[in-house]
Amino acid sequence: MAGPPALPAPGALAPGRDPRLGEEQLAIQASVRELAQRRILPRAAAIDETATFPWDVVELLRGHGAFAIGFPLAWGGVSSSALSLVVAIEEVARVCATSALLLAVQSLGGTPIALVGTEAQQGRLLPDLASGRRLAAYALSEADAGSDPAAMRTRAVRAGDDYVLDGAKMWITNGEVAELIVVFAVTDPAAGAHGISAFVVEGRPPGLTRNPIHGKLGIRGSSTAELVFDGVRVPAANRLGAEGDGFALAMAVLDRSRPSVAAQALGIAQGAVDEAVRYARQRRQFGRPIAEFQGIQFMLADMATQVEAARGLVYLAGSRIDDGGPDLSRIAAMAKLFASDTAMRVTTDAVQVLGGAGYVREFPVERMMRDAKITQIYEGTNQIQRLVIARRLLE
């Protein structure tokens, strides 16, 4: 008779293959991790310190085809899988949240075109986003219409074969650098949310002024700008979807982009755990590594557990986009809410684990704590995520 099964050798308890990821995601995870750790990590502190847009990282991502992740082969992409994209964003955010945002916003700008663009629009516009030749932006928010974007006032008036855009968009990521901007504007003021339409603004048309916004708490290398439209002409052929369908499109896009923000938050949080563990092993007080104190061990354990729980929701949200599940809105909002709250808590705890060293720029956790905050705010604040989740539960 065979004896009892042997206990696993200690080595077998090392992290196993992630069952949520297929071959494609594992390959993308490995290659992006290598790129991020070797090439982006050494740049992260300077990008933050100088608050300058990282064109060198853009070149790096272009050169490695990283912008193509999340774009289908037909449009010059490498993978249409949203799960692949969230995995890539997580790996970059683990070392540099500003750089991870480059990938997230490229997809944010591409998604409305992928969702409702005509074949001609998709064939003409998406390959440039997949290659990274043009950077994208998504202009929904206005100074007086943030959580309530249906209150936007930017107007688009039909004039022959064009629309003429007047108004101002606020807080637009990539605002200074984007060569393709998806802009939402009111075409029928009497129709409320049903009077909003979406347009693609290309290049640097006359009448468009980009006013950079300086002094951000985190993601300091990211370009954030106010966009002022003063009689900007956009060809009617650049309208995305039907007139009046823009608001529904904007919401459908957010359902598909919130998992990217959640992945950014997840990566930031994982990076903070990495740093806290490294520091706790090497820092000695009372004659031994602080990692030997149970108070520190419990903090590290709680941090790692929260990050792993966040990863569950983030990967689920990525998979929901891929499988088209009807509960995408709810899951995407949950992933964004939980992962960003986790990032804020875990980075704050990481600063605590590092003590005084955590409070200065010489160590990365201070930057991570500042970077984490934005993930609770953009693409809908976490109060708005709770509204989305509650609405889905109660409808």
Ligand X SMILES: Cc1cc2nc3c(=O)[nH]c(=O)nc-3n(C[C@H](O)[C@H](O)[C@H](O)COP(=O)(O)OP(=O)(O)OC[C@H]3O[C@@H](n4cnc5c(N)ncnc54)[C@H](O)[C@@H]3O)c2cc1C
- Residues forming contacts to ligand X in the complex (CB under 6 A) are 138-141, 146-147, 171-173, 216, 224, 374, 377-381, 383-384
CB closer to ligand X out of 75 and 138: 138
CA distances from 252 to 10, 89, 115, 255, 318 (A): 47, 20, 9, 5, 14
CB closer to ligand X out of 37 and 147: 147
Contact at 8 Å (CB) between 355 and 312? no
Distance CA 192, CA 152 (A): 9
CA distances from 109 to 102, 132, 133, 164, 352 (A): 11, 12, 13, 21, 37
Q: How far is the CB of 380 from ligand X (least distance, A)?
A: 6
CB closer to ligand X out of 146 and 318: 146
CB closer to ligand X out of 75 and 378: 378
Reply yes or no on whether 308 is catalytic: no
Distance CA 91, CA 201 (A): 31
Q: How far is the CB of 38 from ligand X (least distance, A)?
A: 28
Residue 196: its H or E element = strand 196-202
Q: How many CB atoms lie within 10 A of CB 393?
A: 8
Max intra-chain CA distance, the chain: 87
Q: How far is the CB of 83 from ligand X (least distance, A)?
A: 23
Q: How far is the CB of 227 from ligand X (least distance, A)?
A: 10
CB closer to ligand X out of 150 and 300: 150
Q: Name the active-site residue from 90, 226, 366, 379.
A: 379
* Chain-centre distance for alpha carbon 81: 15
Q: How far is the CB of 93 from ligand X (least distance, A)?
A: 15
Distance CA 126, CA 114 (A): 8
Dig out the tokens for 60 from the structure.
């790096």
Q: How far is the CB of 345 from ligand X (least distance, A)?
A: 18
Distance CA 208, CA 175 (A): 11
CA–CA–CA angle 183, 215, 166 (5° rounding):
25
What DSSP assignment string belongs to 120-186? HHHHHHHHHHHHTSS-EEEE--BTTBSS-GGG---EEEEETTEEEEEEEEEEEETTTT-SEEEEEEE
Q: How far is the CB of 386 from ligand X (least distance, A)?
A: 8
Number of C-alpha atoms within 13 angstroms, CB side, residue 355? 8
Distance CA 205, CA 149 (A): 24
CB closer to ligand X out of 141 and 342: 141
CB closer to ligand X out of 224 and 329: 224
Q: Which residues are catalytic?
A: 379
